[in-house]
Structure 1
Amino acid sequence: MSLESWVAYLIACVVLTVIPGPSVMLVIGQSLTRGRAAAMMGVLGTVVGSIALLGLSFAGVGAVLAASALLFQLVKWAGVFYLAWLGIEQIRAARGEGAVVDLAPEQDTAAAWSCFRAGALTAVLNPKSIVFYMAFLAQFIAPEGNLALQLALLTLTSSLVVVVVLGCYALVAARIRTLLGSRAVRRRAGYAGGGFMIGGSAFMAVTR
């Protein structure tokens, strides 16, 4: 792989990650409702899910999804309903003031791992990403080069981009959360966080 190809891949990854999608909406929602640390666990989960997608794409799952409209729709709607369910649960928690009550350490740890699982599943249950990775990455791989080394480099690059870009989204949302002093305002932030998750679900639903 040439340096020019790697730079082009890096730029493409940044542009595609910056554009709001289900994972961006999820991370913003988590940051608004549960704070920066929990949201960063969601970012880490998204990275793990993205790496899994890369493996699935090169294993041929992307081709299967592209060829089977029914299977594609099943995976897509599983992701849609999962993200919508997360949003609804968050809004219900906000109504019960769960979004504004300080958690005990063991509860905080459980919430963090819940964010990690949500990030990973949201990434994996996006079939368009699987098909995209399969078509996108092939353009930057030199057939005459070391395939394993190139895949490792592309995976590392995309993972770092996800961490930096989604991390920035999480930090901005967390900063907004710290400025919301009153319980009533923070409860509204809980509603907003759930709304972002539902928005990500809607985005996933309308994309073809």
Structure 2
Amino acid sequence: MPLENWIAFTVACIVLTLIPGPSVLLVVGQALTRGEKAAMMCVAGDLIGGLVLMLLSFLGVGAVLAASALLFQAVKWMGVLYLAYLGCRQIVDARKDMFELSGSGNTSTGWGSLCAGAVTAVLNPKAIVFYMAFLAQFIDPAGNLVRQMTILTATSTLVVAVLLSAYAVIAIRARQVFQSRAARQKVGYAGGTFLLGGSILIAASR
């Protein structure tokens, strides 16, 4: 793989990850409402989802999805509904926290956050288009396909892990300021709003 192709791919990954999208909003929302463990599990789930998209792209599923407007729209609206559901549930949980013992509304095994991160990544139209439609632009047809896909997958995973973790850390630090029940409720509403915002972003995308 030419060095310039790898550099271009890395820059594209950085830019796309830095721009707040469904994955970023989900991680921030989880960090604000459920804490550090949930946020990091959410990041791990997003990485798993990214690996799934890379694998599907390698298997040629991306070409089928990119060529079918109906299938793409179906996946897109599944993502919209899923994030909207998570956002509404977060807001309901925040409301209930006003009537629960301190801290009881913020416990999480992390597995729900892991699944949420993975599903959101797989159903994210921005990621689908990037991995399944544009990925081929960075690959040298004359080179070893498996080796190039391995390099691109490792690069993408590292970039996403670092940047999403940074978003999570910032949100976790902000969460630590709010300890009272009333403050936690407001943070919960904010987290739910972030998720609803993510669903709106997906719905508005083309």
TM > 0.5 = yes
User: Which of residues 175, 178, 183 in structure 2 aligns to 1:177?
Assistant: 175
Aligned-partner Cα distance in 1 for 2:101–2:121 = 27
State how far apart, in whole Å, the 2-side matches of 1:41 and 1:100 are.
25
> In the alignment, does 2:103 pair up with 1:102?
yes
Q: Which amino acid counterpart does residue 203 of structure 1 have in structure 2?
A: L
Q: Which runs of 5+ in 1 are unaligned?
A: none
Output the CA distance in 1 between the equivalents of 2:193 and 2:28. 10
The structural deviation recorded for 1:4 is 2.6
TM-score with structure 2 length normalisation?
0.93
Checking the alignment, whether the CA contact within 8 Å between 2:76 and 2:124 is kept in structure 1 is yes
Paired residues of 2:77 and 2:203 also in contact (CA < 8 A): yes
Q: 1:167 aligns with which of 161, 165, 169?
A: 165
Matched residue count: 204
The code of the aligned residue for 1:46 comes to D
Deviations along 1:8-45, one digit per CA (max 9) or x if unpaired, are 21111101100010001100000000112210100000
Unaligned runs of 5+ in 2: none
Cα distance in 1, alignment partners of residues 57 and 204 from structure 2? 22
Deviation at 1:2, TM superposition (A): 2.3
Map residues 48-197 of structure 1 onto 2, 5 A cutoff. 48-97=48-97, 101-103=102-104, 108-109=108-109, 112-197=110-195
Q: Tell me, in whole angstroms, the C-alpha distance in 1 between the residues paired with 2:78 and 2:132.
A: 21
* Cα-to-partner distance string for 1:101-147 (whole Å, 9 max, x where unaligned): 4359xx632xx110000000001112442232133221221222211
Separation (CA, whole Å) in 1 of partners of 2:136 and 2:67? 18
Measured at CA, do residues 60 and 100 of structure 1 come closer, stay the same or move farther in structure 2, by a change above 3 Å? farther
For the 8 Å contact 1:63–1:131, the answer to whether it is kept is no
1:62, distance to aligned residue in structure 2 (A)? 2.0
Equivalent residue, structure 1, for 2:45: 45
* Gap change, CA 1:60 and 1:131, over 3 Å in 2: farther
Matching residue's letter, 1:90: Q
Q: Aligned partner of 1:27: which letter?
A: V
Which range moved further: 39-48 or 59-68?
Answer: 59-68
Could you tell me the TM-score, scaled by structure 1's length?
A: 0.92
Q: Residue in 2 aligned with 1:4?
A: 4
Contact 1:32–1:174, Cα closer than 8 Å, also in 2: yes
Q: Are residues 189 and 100 of structure 1, via their aligned partners in 2, closer, same or farther at CA, if it must alter by over 3 Å?
A: farther
Letter in 2 for 1:125: L
C-alpha separation between the residues in 2 aligned to 1:184 and 1:81?
29
TM-align CA RMSD = 1.8
The alpha carbon displacement at 1:172 in A equals 0.3
Letter in 2 for 1:130: I
